[in-house]
């Protein structure tokens, strides 16, 4: 099982001292968190993508490329990549490039984005959210799998004899997860392609997650990718830890009470009861996290949100120490001992490469760079 | 014989509340009329005041607490709805609107609804017609023609004798009639149900 962190990349005032980080500080904090994740033995770092204040990560592959150059094992991912407002052609190119630079340590999570005004900034309309996610992703898959694409759809200009470069590393496209909180259509999309499904699982009741994952598993089996319990599931989770649980509650409360998403609403106690948020000791986080399996089954990836709501970097790094030293080693062992042999691990570049029977150079060589003749003609 | 369910939502803030009193009388009139036609009736009274914090929390977090979820399911899954609000500043009060803002836009489609309101002066009475009725029309509910307003003079008996009673009885008959003519509610909708296929999503058609 994979463990990691995902970050929204919000610039938020620290409610305990009124200090607001600059964009520069926040961006550097995000990559520091990523390096720390590898140092403490986590597997995955995933960044959000946003195009409006108070968020900084508008250019995920720039950030992930920087991290790739400074890490050895860490898997670089997104949470989420906006499949609605990004041109699928640019996603295909950017992430294939990142895949090469990171030696395959890349996957992506597709999401729609729920902020209406963002869509028209990129020439789109939020009312087309689901159709955009469906059409754009279908094109993205083809761009990674077919050297030359002729394509026509509703939302972007047609493509004729188009080759997205670079081709995916070893001819193996990055693994893709689809994230959604409560749109059954997205669970259906993930199931149709046999891709992974990721449930946000932080700001919402466990019941939402149980229903969405249940639907995805059932449809995964329906489409013939394996049995329902072999579907590839990832979950979010939000934790704040101190060795003494009372200290954790006391320290986190002002951040909770003023947090951008749920602040000034339910109490910390109500919210921890209603959602998977866990504020307490490392042991409490271990127990709660193991309990996720009771309602989603054996799953492949667990990402924690540890750096939002204005928490200072120093505190976040302490959270990563606790995760790496005390929580994840136990979770790794426990989850692995519970996992039946027929339930797969999350796909990686290596496992996808092996499944494809090995890879090779997938470069598409142009025949004539003056006339731009289709590479296909060279075969 | 089926049991007909009536959700009775009251947004009164004081206790005891004249809004609740009106809601109860409308519920009793409707129930009596249904029983007279041989129906069994289950009343589901909802005092929004008891859920005020949960309603605000739902507006902020996007999901209901478990007790509020049960209330929403009871209201959207009932055969008929009686909705009564005090009139504040010429409209329903904020609690009433906040609660119905949490109801899915399709959840009350075709549902039989009876409206009532209370206020400090009868000059507020048309708020029923310019505020409450348009909202339920937007939700595509079938609203009984008579909506009942109760002013202080109605309770004191100072107005035309028995006029409030007569309006309540007429409104109860109208709602009972609408409920009897409608198919029993199939219960609250499942927001997680898949209502399309991937082929429909991708190609705009079924395979």
Give residue A145's pLDDT band: very low, low, confident or very high (50, 70, 90): very high
Give residue B206's pLDDT band: very low, low, confident or very high (50, 70, 90): low
User: Does the beta carbon of A225 lie under 8 angstroms from any beta carbon of chain B?
Assistant: no
Mutate to test the interface with B, among A130, A185, A189, A204 (most CBs of B within 10 A): A185
pLDDT at A375: 57
**Nearest-Cα residue of chain B relative to residue A180:** B192
- Residue B31: pLDDT above 50? yes
- Model confidence over A15-27: pLDDT tens digits? 999 999 999 999 9
Interface of A with B in 267-286 (CB under 8 A): 270-271, 274
User: Does the beta carbon of B137 lie under 8 angstroms from any beta carbon of chain A?
Assistant: no
**Nearest-Cα residue of chain B relative to residue A267:** B57
Rounded mean pLDDT, A364-374: 67
User: Does the beta carbon of A130 lie under 8 angstroms from any beta carbon of chain B?
Assistant: yes
Residue A118 structure tokens: 């963002």
- Model confidence over A30-89: pLDDT tens digits? 999 999 999 999 999 999 999 999 999 999 999 999 999 999 999 999 999 999 999 999
What residues in B contact A189, CB-CB < 8 Å? 198, 201
- Residue A374: pLDDT above 70? no
Torsion, Cα of B78, B82, B84, B90 (10° steps): 100
Q: Which of A214-223, A261-270, A360-369, B180-189 shows the highest mean pLDDT?
A: A214-223
Interface of B with A in 38-57 (CB under 8 A): 56-57
Contact B48, B99 (CB under 8 A): yes
The verdict on a CB contact (< 8 Å) between A219 and B63 is no
- Residue A379: pLDDT above 70? no
The CA-to-CA distance between both ends of chain B, in Å, stands at 42
Rounded mean pLDDT, A194-215: 95
Q: How far apart are CA A37 and CA B204, in angstroms?
A: 43
More confident residue, B199 or A342: A342
- Residue A370: pLDDT above 90? no
Give the whole-number percent of chain A exceeding pLDDT 90.
Answer: 92
What residues in A contact B56, CB-CB < 8 Å? 265
Q: How far apart are CA A331 and CA A302, in angstroms?
A: 10
User: Does the beta carbon of A229 lie under 8 angstroms from any beta carbon of chain B?
Assistant: no
Q: How far apart are CA A200 and CA A180, in angstroms?
A: 7
Closest by CA position to A60, among listed A126, A18, A9 = A9
- Residue B156: pLDDT above 90? no
The verdict on a CB contact (< 8 Å) between A265 and B61 is yes
Provide the whole-model pTM: 0.91
* Nearest residue, CB atoms, B202 vs list A138, A182, A270: A138
- Residue B207: pLDDT above 50? no
Give residue A378's pLDDT band: very low, low, confident or very high (50, 70, 90): very low
Strand order in the sheet with A44-47: A75-78, A44-47, A2-7, A301-304, A233-235, A196-199, A175-179, A107-111, A81-82
Give the pairing of strands A239-241 and A44-47. unpaired
The verdict on a CB contact (< 8 Å) between A204 and B198 is no
Q: What is the secondary structure of chain B as a DSSP string?
A: -PEEEEEEEE---SSS-HHHHHHHHHHHHHHHHHHHTT-EEEEEEEEGGGGHHHHHHHHHHSS--HHHHHHHHHHHTSSEEEEEEEEETTEE-HHHHHHHHTS-TTTTTT-EEEEEEE-SSGGGTTHIIIIIHHHHHHTT-EE-S--EEE-HHHHHT-SSTTHHHHHHHHHHHHHHHHHHHSPPP--S--TT---S-HHHHHHSS--
User: Does the beta carbon of B16 lie under 8 angstroms from any beta carbon of chain A?
Assistant: no
The verdict on a CB contact (< 8 Å) between B61 and A266 is yes
Give residue B197's pLDDT band: very low, low, confident or very high (50, 70, 90): confident
Q: How far apart are CA A238 and CA A236, in angstroms?
A: 7
pLDDT at B187: 80
- Residue A245: pLDDT above 90? yes
**Long-range residue pairs from A224-228, CB within 8 A, at least 24 positions apart, any chain:** A225/A191, A225/A194, A226/A194, A226/A344, A227/A342, A228/A297
A270-to-A15, A16, A248, A274, B56 alpha-carbon distances in Å: 20, 22, 16, 6, 13
User: Does the beta carbon of A258 lie under 8 angstroms from any beta carbon of chain B?
Assistant: no
Rounded mean pLDDT, B16-43: 97
For A4-36, letters b (16+ CB in 10 Å) and e give bbbbbbbbbebbeeeeebeeeebbebbbebbeb
What residues in A contact B196, CB-CB < 8 Å? 185, 188
* Chain mean pLDDT for chain A: 95
Q: How far apart are CA B31 and CA B29, in angstroms?
A: 6
* Nearest residue, CB atoms, B198 vs list A135, A188, A208: A188
The CA-to-CA distance between both ends of chain A, in Å, stands at 41
For A180, the 3-state DSSP assignment is coil
User: Does the beta carbon of B202 lie under 8 angstroms from any beta carbon of chain A?
Assistant: yes
Q: What is the secondary structure of A214-268 as a DSSP string?
A: HHHHHHHHHTTSS-GGGS-EEE--BEEE-SSHHHHHHHHHHHHHT-TTTTTSS-H
More confident residue, B159 or B121: B121
Q: How far is B16 from chain A (nearest CA, A)?
A: 27
Rounded mean pLDDT, B99-126: 95
Q: How far apart are CA B36 and CA B21, in angstroms?
A: 22
At residue B121's C-alpha, the angle toward residues B116 and B123, to 5°, is 85
pLDDT at A365: 85
Closest by CA position to A40, among listed A325, A332, A243 = A325
User: Does the beta carbon of B193 lie under 8 angstroms from any beta carbon of chain A?
Assistant: yes
Which residues, other chains included, contact A121 with Cβ-Cβ below 8 Å and sequence gap of 6+? A51, A85
- Residue B9: pLDDT above 90? yes
Give residue B86's pLDDT band: very low, low, confident or very high (50, 70, 90): very high
For B29, phi and psi rounded to 5 degrees? -65, -40
**Nearest-Cα residue of chain A relative to residue B194:** A184
Contact A110, A139 (CB under 8 A): no
What residues in B contact A262, CB-CB < 8 Å? 60-61
ipTM metric: 0.84
For A17, what's the count of Cα atoms within 13 Å in the CB-facing half-sphere?
7
The verdict on a CB contact (< 8 Å) between A261 and B196 is no
Max CA separation in chain A (angstroms): 70
- Residue A287: pLDDT above 90? yes
**Nearest-Cα residue of chain B relative to residue A210:** B192
- Model confidence over A179-202: pLDDT tens digits? 998 899 999 999 999 999 999 999
**Nearest-Cα residue of chain B relative to residue A270:** B65
What residues in A contact B194, CB-CB < 8 Å? 184-185, 187-188, 215, 219
């Amino acid at each position: 099982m994979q463990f990691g962190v995902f970050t929204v990349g919000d610039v938020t005032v620290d409610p305990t001292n009124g200090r607001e980080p600059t964009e520069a500080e926040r961006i550097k904090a995000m990559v520091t968190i990523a390096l720390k994740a590898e140092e403490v033995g986590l597997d995955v770092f995933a960044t959000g993508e946003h195009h409006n204040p108070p968020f900084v990560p508008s250019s995920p592959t720039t950030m992930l490329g920087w991290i790739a150059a400074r890490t050895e094992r860490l898997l670089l991912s997104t949470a989420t990549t906006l499949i609605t407002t990004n041109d699928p052609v640019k996603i295909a190119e950017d992430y294939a490039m990142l895949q090469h630079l990171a030696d395959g340590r890349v996957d992506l999570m597709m999401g729609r984005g729920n902020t209406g005004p963002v869509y028209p900034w990129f020439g789109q309309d939020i009312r087309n959210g689901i159709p955009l996610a469906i059409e754009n992703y279908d094109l993205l898959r083809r761009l990674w799998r077919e050297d030359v694409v002729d394509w026509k759809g509703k939302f972007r200009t047609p493509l004729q004899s188009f080759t997205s470069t670079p081709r995916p590393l070893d001819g193996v496209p990055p693994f893709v997860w689809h994230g959604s909180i409560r749109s059954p259509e997205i669970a259906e999309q993930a199931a149709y392609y046999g891709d992974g499904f990721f449930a946000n699982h932080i700001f919402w009741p466990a019941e939402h997650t149980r229903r969405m994952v249940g639907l995805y598993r059932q449809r995964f089996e329906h489409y013939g990718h394996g049995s329902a319990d072999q579907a590839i599931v990832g979950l979010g989770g939000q934790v704040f830890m101190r060795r003494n649980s009372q200290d954790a509650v006391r320290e986190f409360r002002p951040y909770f009470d003023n947090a951008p998403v749920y602040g000034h609403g339910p109490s910390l106690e109500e919210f921890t009861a209603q959602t998977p948020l866990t504020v307490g000791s490392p042991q409490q986080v271990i127990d709660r996290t193991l309990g996720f399996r009771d309602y989603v089954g054996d799953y492949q990836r667990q990402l924690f949100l540890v750096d939002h709501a204005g928490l200072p970097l120093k505190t976040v790094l302490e959270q990563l120490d606790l995760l790496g030293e005390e929580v994840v080693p136990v979770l790794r062992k426990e989850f692995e001992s519970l996992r039946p042999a027929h339930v797969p691990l999350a796909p990686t570049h290596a496992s996808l490469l092996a499944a494809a029977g090995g890879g090779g150079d997938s470069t598409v060589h142009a025949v004539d760079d003056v006339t731009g003749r289709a590479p296909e003609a060279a075969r | 014989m089926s049991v007909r369910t009536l959700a009775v939502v009251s947004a009164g803030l004081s206790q005891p509340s004249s809004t609740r009193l009106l809601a109860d009388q409308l519920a009793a009139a409707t129930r009596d009329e249904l029983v007279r036609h041989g129906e069994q009736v289950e009343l589901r009274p909802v005092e929004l005041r008891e859920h005020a914090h949960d309603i605000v929390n739902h507006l902020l977090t996007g999901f209901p607490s478990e007790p509020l979820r049960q209330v929403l399911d009871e209201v959207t899954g009932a055969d008929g709805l009686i909705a009564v609000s005090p009139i504040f500043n010429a409209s329903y009060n904020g609690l009433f609107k906040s609660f119905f803002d949490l109801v899915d836009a399709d959840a009350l489609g075709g549902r039989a609804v009876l409206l009532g309101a209370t206020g400090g002066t009868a000059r507020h009475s048309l708020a029923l017609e310019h505020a409450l009725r348009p909202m339920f029309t937007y939700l595509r509910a079938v609203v009984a023609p008579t909506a009942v307003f109760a002013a202080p003079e109605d309770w004191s008996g100072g107005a035309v004798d028995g006029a409030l009673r007569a309006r309540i009885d007429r409104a109860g008959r109208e709602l009972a009639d609408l409920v009897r003519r409608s198919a029993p509610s199939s219960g609250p909708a499942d927001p997680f149900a898949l209502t399309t296929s991937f082929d429909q999503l991708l190609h705009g058609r079924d395979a």
